[in-house]
Structure 1
């Protein structure tokens, strides 16, 4: 498999970006949910530090992914036999996922700045209550929207794999392509 995509399959760079981002998002969800429910400041601190770092890395990787598609690679051809409406929905969901990742990062950064989180983390003072802050509320709402988009994305992938059995996941490195 080459670095760039072919007509039938994503390249190594696109596949690596996808699965690394997916793993980081799973970690971000776990860290974020646990940080939001943590009552002890030291626990919140221990969860927020990697959450912030992974959030920034996920933003950087997403921006790299967008640049990769815009300037360095092309996506494989649309899969044959998939109705146009499903292809359009997939395109919209993918765009919304990218937008949600960027918006989540922006609202997370804004929460940290407005809420004084970075100052608290670096000085060792208690992390302030962030729940009433508008950027934190937006972050929570965006996280729920993102989970919905992620559920749609995963459900569609499983539909293609188990119902249609069209080998679509093989394009992203899972399983064997249809012959």
Structure 2
């Protein structure tokens, strides 16, 4: 498989970045939801440290991914027989995913700065209460909207795989391309 995309398949770099990001996003969701509900400082600390690290990693991968598409690679050709509206929706969902990741990282960073989380983590002081910090509220709303967007993305991929059987997932490294 080529590092760069071909007309019918994404390249190795695009595939690896996609699936690594997907796994990290799932971990971020689990960590974030559990950190929000943590009832002890030790639990919150144990969840926030990897949440912050993974969030920054996903931001870096997303920025890399945007630069990769703009300067180094091109997407495969569209699948045959996809209605134009469906193509526009798919493109919108992909752009929104990038936007949400950047906004989630930005509000997470702002929450940590304004809320004094990083000094607390560094010194062992208790994690401050973040409930009344505006970026934290925005982060929570964005996270839930992003989960809905991910459900649409995953649902569409499964629709293509199981109902249309058009090889969409094989373009992302799962299975063989249809002949």
Please indicate the TM-score interval, normalised by the length of the shorter structure. over 0.9
2:98 maps to what in 1? 98
Distance in 1 (alpha carbons) for counterparts of 2:24 and 2:168: 23
Q: 2:33 matched to 1:70?
A: no
**TM-score, with structure 2 as normaliser:** 0.99
Distance in 2 (alpha carbons) for counterparts of 1:75 and 1:148: 25
Q: CA deviation at 1:30?
A: 0.6
1:55 maps to what in 2? 55
1:131 maps to what in 2? 131
Q: 2:164 matched to 1:161?
A: no
Distance in 2 (alpha carbons) for counterparts of 1:163 and 1:26: 25
Q: CA deviation at 1:127?
A: 0.3
Structure 1, unaligned stretches of length 5 or more? none
1:111 maps to what in 2? 111
Distance in 1 (alpha carbons) for counterparts of 2:61 and 2:51: 15
**TM-score, with structure 1 as normaliser:** 0.99
Deviation string 1:71-113 (CA, Å, 9 cap, x unpaired) is: 0000000111010000000000000000000000000000000
1:85 maps to what in 2? 85
Deviation string 1:103-143 (CA, Å, 9 cap, x unpaired) is: 00000000000000001101111001101110000000000
Runs of 4+, deviation exceeding 2 Å: none
Q: CA deviation at 1:175?
A: 1.2
Q: 2:144 matched to 1:148?
A: no
SS of residue matched to 2:111: helix
SS of residue matched to 2:129: coil
Q: CA deviation at 1:178?
A: 1.0
